[in-house]
Amino acid sequence: DQQVKQNSPSLSVQEGRISILNCDYTNSMFDYFLWYKKYPAEGPTFLISISSIKDKNEDGRFTVFLNKSAKHLSLHIVPSQPGDSAVYFCAAPRGGGSQGNLIFGKGTKLSVKP
Amino acid sequence: KAGVTQTPRYLIKTRGQQVTLSCSPISGHRSVSWYQQTPGQGLQFLFEYFSETQRNKGNFPGRFSGRQFSNSRSEMNVSTLELGDSALYLCASSLGSAESTDTQYFGPGTRLTVL
């Protein structure tokens, strides 16, 4: 039962353009969402988060949008840089509680071409 | 501040053996969670320890177990290894509050290969 879904396994974008990574969820009890970035041979690194009481959160080049009615969130990276090439995971705390028990999507591999 | 460290980084075992993986959390963090990452299943939660007690448990067989010590360091043990246990095992630490904003920080992982 995949409660957090990332339906695009990969995405290729030109440097300087916008990257949009998508994530869908099925559990309406989720009240907090996170995006992690992962390089090969490293653990995931926290990127940005959003609470369900907001519909947008911005941090530099990264913006996360949340559409609760559609149970959908997206991560926008503007402008995309080659160093952004990594696997991006969407995640939510199970049961709406602490992050000690996260449910992850299967990830989207972003390639930013110079 | 030092990050989350995991040892060993790479491990090769044979079927039927057992293995113990170690995780040292960020100083001051009291919660340690373990995840398994495989190409087919992605990142899956194994268990979380807080103040030496298992606080949450994922849907894994009893061959997977863990513990946490008084200094918050944690170990994970897998007994009677199977080929399907080959994976990247990730450990994450956090302060351990019940707040969803309490960010988890991940270690680099231990790559386990079962032959």
Indicate the burial class of A19 (C-beta count within 10 angstroms; 0-12, 13-18, 19 or more).
Answer: buried
CB atoms A99 and B56 under 8 Å: no
End-to-end CA separation in angstroms for chain B: 37
Q: Average pLDDT of B10-39?
A: 96
Convert B26-39 to b/e letters by CB count within 10 Å (16 or more is b): beebbbbbbbbbee
Q: How many CB pairs under 8 A join A and B?
A: 76
pLDDT at A99 exceeding the cut of 80: no
Q: Average pLDDT of B69-82?
A: 97
pLDDT of residue A59: 96
Q: Residue A11 has which token pair?
A: 């995405």
Chain B residues with at least one Cβ partner in A under 8 Å: 4, 31, 33, 35, 42-45, 48, 50, 55-56, 58, 90, 92, 94, 96-109
pLDDT at A97 exceeding the cut of 70: no
pLDDT at A95 exceeding the cut of 80: no
Chain segment B32-73, per-residue pLDDT in tens: 999 999 988 889 999 999 999 999 899 999 999 999 999 999
pLDDT at B101 exceeding the cut of 90: no
pLDDT of residue A41: 81
pLDDT at A55 exceeding the cut of 70: yes
List the helix and strand counts (H, then E) for chain A: 0, 11
Chain segment A1-33, per-residue pLDDT in tens: 679 999 999 999 999 999 999 999 999 888 899
CB atoms B45 and A105 under 8 Å: no
Angle at B39 between CA B35 and CA B43, to 5 degrees: 25
CB atoms B103 and A43 under 8 Å: no
Q: Is residue B103 within 8 Å of residue B2, measured between CB atoms? A: no
